């Protein structure tokens, strides 16, 4: 036998048993963004490698070791997008969407990072994200957080996620803090793990979220970024906190939260859960006022977040919230005898036309009553319609409940849609 080809490690199929959970999540996301008036943007999956190097930053996990980068047939260096923000800014600049305008955008789609696959961490994964341009004030930071909090409510997981918040100040304030932090880290160099030693000079803020216990221990005495903030940054942060208080969104301020990407300034946040082990961050984002300019556009304030869909699906699975999702089929239409097939498929079509949201599956492939009923049951349908010689002669359809112990009933064909609508 020929050898079967397998999927690439860390890149998963979503099987028919799993796609209902995805569709439900995607539907909740779509209705959430629409409730806030956001518009969708779709960008290519492949971009110039430079786009990600210049935006995400050279000394980051993503650019240092996670990108799927290759030369195409022209010798141009291309990269499978590892995240959505850089592409959105690139598209916004390219099509003149950003300068002097307000845009509230969202996207959803696959991202690619060459990481060690494990629960909640894959090489192809999916993100939903929002990106807002042209608004510098903290009310919009609060809005994207409200949108995310509302999403948790709609998904029924509010009790299982918490919001962590921090501010990184402006580039100048961060530069002053960086100096102080490097000076501090130099005093404790021998305690730092390998990664932290390497990053100490290139990206010292990243040392703050080192997972190493010894490093975490010495960081208790590290200088705090809050002490380096100017008035404007402080006010921006306190305004955001007041707005969140006003709408009842709880948060903890986590001075160690710095985010892994270079482009953030001021507000940064993460929604985390303790229900998924070490892959606990389900949504992360912040303000990135410098990025549009950095990528060649005119300076434009920006704020956004990205949510990992796989981790939300896992969380919903863990909590049992993906059990009992509605079946793909409501009504299964059977034909008893080959001569009944033309009318049976016509009846199925009439039902679809009369009730556009009804999910109607026609039996195909013949077989006796028992076989067709088995298929009907397996389809997950609520009802089987039985169409045989007798029914057709009397202009009737037999409606057989499959999930409840109710009696089968004969329904006049012209009453069928009305009856099904009442039953479902
Ligand atoms: P982590 O610290 O877990 O590596 P990150 O900081 O790299 O996360 P972001 O780049 O901010 O993550 O992406 C936002 C969200 O996308 C994450 O919070 C997570 O839910 C999801 N995500 C990131 N990388 C992966 C991955 N490899 N597989 C699945 N989901 C991911
Ligand atoms: Mg990562």
Residue 278: per-residue pLDDT: 81
Distance 11 CA to ligand 2 centre (A): 16
pLDDT, mean of residues 48-72: 92
Contact between residue 53 and residue 119 where contact means Cβ atoms under 8 Å apart: no
Mean pLDDT of the chain: 94
**209-230 residue pLDDT tens:** 788 888 889 988 999 888 999 9
User: In angstroms, rounded to a whole number, what is the distance separating the alpha carbons of residues 147 and 307?
Assistant: 12
According to the model, what pLDDT value does residue 211 have?
80
Tell me, what's the pLDDT at 255?
87
Q: Which atom of ligand 1 is nearest to the CA of 281?
A: 18
pLDDT at 212: 85
Domains of the chain: 19-170+230-318 (3.30.930.10), 331-423 (3.40.50.800)
Lowest mean pLDDT among 126-140, 205-219, 233-247, 324-338: 205-219
Tell me what pLDDT residue 126 has: 98
Q: Please give the average per-residue pLDDT across 144-159, as a whole number.
A: 97
Instruction: Give pLDDT, residue 345.
Output: 97
> Which atom of ligand 1 has the smallest separation from the CA of 282?
20
pLDDT band at 203 (very low <50, low <70, confident <90, very high): confident
Query: Does position 262 have pLDDT exceeding 80, yes or no?
Result: no
Atom of ligand 1 nearest to the CA of 83: 10
Q: Atom 20 of ligand 1 has which residue's CA nearest to it?
A: 308
**Dist CA 211 CA 50 (whole Å):** 29
pLDDT of 166 higher than 90: yes
Using most ligand atoms within 8 A of CB, pick from 8, 82, 87, 127 the residue to mutate for ligand 1.
Answer: 127
Long-range contacts of 135-139 (CB under 8 A, 24+ apart): 135/102, 135/301, 135/303, 136/289, 136/301, 137/236, 137/239, 138/236, 138/237, 138/239, 138/240, 138/243, 138/267, 139/239, 139/243
Which of 306, 307, 316 for mutating ligand 1's site (highest number of atoms within 8 Å of CB)?
A: 306
pLDDT at position 108 is: 98
Q: How confident is the model at residue 242 (pLDDT cuts 50, 70, 90)?
A: very high
Mind spelling out the 3-state secondary structure of the chain? CCCCCCCCCCCCCCCCCCHHHHHHHHHHHHHHHHHCCCEECCCCCEEEHHHHHHHHCCCCHHHHHHCEEEECCCCCEEEECCCCHHHHHHHHHHCCCCCCCCEEEEEEEEEECCCCCECCECCEEEEEEEEEECCCCHHHHHHHHHHHHHHHHHHCCHHHCEEEEEECCCHHHHHHHHHHHHHHHHHCHHHCCHHHHHHHHHCHHHHHHCCCHHHHHHHCCCCCHHHHCCHHHHHHHHHHHHHHHHCCCCCEECCCCCCCCCCCEEEEEEEECCCCCCCCEEEEEEECCCHHHHCCCCCCCEEEEEEEHHHHHHHHHHCCCCCCCCCCCCEEEEECCHHHHHHHHHHHHHHHHHCCCCCEEECCCCCCHHHHHHHHHHCCCCEEEEECHHHHHCCEEEEEECCCCCCCEEEEHHHHHHHHHHHC
Picking from 310, 309, 311, 304, the residue whose alpha carbon sits closest to that of residue 106 is 304
What tens digit of pLDDT does each residue of 88-125 get? Answer: 999 999 999 999 999 999 999 999 999 999 999 999 99
CA–CA distances in Å: residue 301 to residues 103, 265, 294: 11, 10, 12
Nearest one of 197, 198, 204, 196 to 178, comparing CA atoms: 204
Q: What average pLDDT score do residues 358-379 get?
A: 96
Nearest ligand 1 atom to the CA of 260 is: 6
pLDDT for 194 equals 86
Q: What is the mean pLDDT of residues 34-50?
A: 98
Residue nearest to atom 11 of ligand 1 (CA): 284
Residue 199 has pLDDT above 90, yes or no: no
**How buried is residue 336: exposed, middle or buried, by Cβ count under 10 Å (0-12/13-18/19+)?**
buried
Confidence at residue 295, expressed as pLDDT on a 0 to 100 scale: 94
CB contact at 8 A, 294 and 51:
no
pLDDT class of 279 with cuts at 50, 70, 90: confident
Grade residue 258 by pLDDT with cuts at 50, 70 and 90.
Answer: confident
Banded model confidence at residue 259, pLDDT cuts 50, 70, 90: confident
d(CA 289, CA 169): 11
Quote the percentage of the chain above a pLDDT of 70: 100
Report the pocket of ligand 1 as residue ranges, CB < 6 Å. Answer: 83, 113, 115, 120-122, 125, 127, 260, 279, 281-284, 306, 308, 310-311
> What share of the chain has pLDDT > 90, as a percent?
82
Sign of CA dihedral 293, 295, 297, 300: negative
Nearest CA owner, ligand 1 atom 6 = 260
Give the Å distance between the CA of 240 and the centre of ligand 1.
24
Q: Quick one: pLDDT at residue 256?
A: 86
Q: What is the mean pLDDT of residues 259-264?
A: 78
Whole-angstrom CA distances from 69 to 54, 76, 89, 106 are 14, 10, 20, 25
Q: Which residue has the higher pLDDT, 290 or 259?
A: 290
* β-strands 103-112, 39-40 pairing: parallel
pLDDT computed for residue 164 by the predictor: 97
Answer yes or no: is pLDDT of 324 > 90: no
């Amino acid at each position: 036998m020929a050898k079967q080809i397998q999927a690439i490690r860390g890149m998963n199929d979503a099987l028919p048993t799993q796609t209902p959970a995805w569709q439900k999540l995607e539907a909740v996301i779509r209705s959430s963004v629409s409730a806030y008036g956001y518009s969708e943007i779709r960008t290519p999956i492949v971009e110039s490698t430079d786009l990600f190097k210049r935006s995400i930053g050279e000394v980051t996990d993503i650019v240092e070791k996670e990108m799927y980068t290759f030369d195409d047939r022209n010798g141009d260096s291309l990269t499978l997008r590892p995240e959505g923000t850089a592409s959105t800014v690139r598209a916004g600049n390219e099509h003149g969407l950003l300068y002097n305008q307000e845009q509230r955008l969202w996207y959803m789609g696959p991202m690619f990072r060459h990481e060690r696959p494990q629960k909640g961490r894959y090489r192809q994964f999916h993100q939903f994200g929002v990106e807002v341009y042209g608004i510098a004030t903290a009310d919009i930071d609060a809005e994207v957080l409200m949108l995310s909090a509302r999403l948790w409510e709609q998904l029924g997981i509010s009790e299982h996620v918490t919001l962590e918040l921090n501010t990184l100040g402006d580039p100048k304030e961060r530069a002053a803090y960086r100096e102080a932090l490097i000076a501090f880290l130099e005093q404790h160099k021998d305690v730092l793990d390998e990664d932290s030693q390497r990053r100490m000079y290139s990206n010292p803020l990243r040392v703050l979220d080192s997972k190493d216990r010894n490093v975490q221990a010495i960081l208790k005495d590290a200088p705090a970024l809050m002490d380096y903030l100017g008035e404007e940054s402080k006010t921006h942060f306190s305004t955001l906190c007041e707005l969140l208080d006003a709408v009842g969104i709880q948060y903890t301020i986590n001075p160690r939260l710095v985010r892994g990407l270079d482009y953030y300034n001021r507000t940064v946040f993460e929604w985390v859960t303790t229900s998924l082990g070490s892959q606990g961050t389900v949504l992360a984002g912040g303000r990135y006022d410098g990025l549009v300019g950095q990528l060649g556009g005119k300076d434009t304030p920006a704020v956004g977040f990205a949510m990992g869909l796989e981790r939300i699906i896992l969380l919903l699975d863990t909590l049992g919230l993906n059990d009992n999702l509605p079946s793909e089929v409501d009504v299964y239409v059977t034909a008893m005898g080959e001569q009944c097939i033309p009318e049976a498929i016509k009846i199925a079509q009439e039902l679809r036309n009369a009730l556009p949201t009804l999910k109607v599956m026609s039996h195909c492939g013949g077989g006796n009553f028992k076989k067709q009923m088995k298929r009907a049951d397996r389809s997950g349908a609520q009802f089987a319609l039985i169409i045989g010689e007798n029914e057709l002669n009397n202009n009737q359809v037999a409606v057989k409940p499959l999930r409840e112990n109710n009696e089968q009933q004969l329904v006049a064909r012209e009453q069928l849609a009305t009856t099904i609508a009442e039953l479902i």
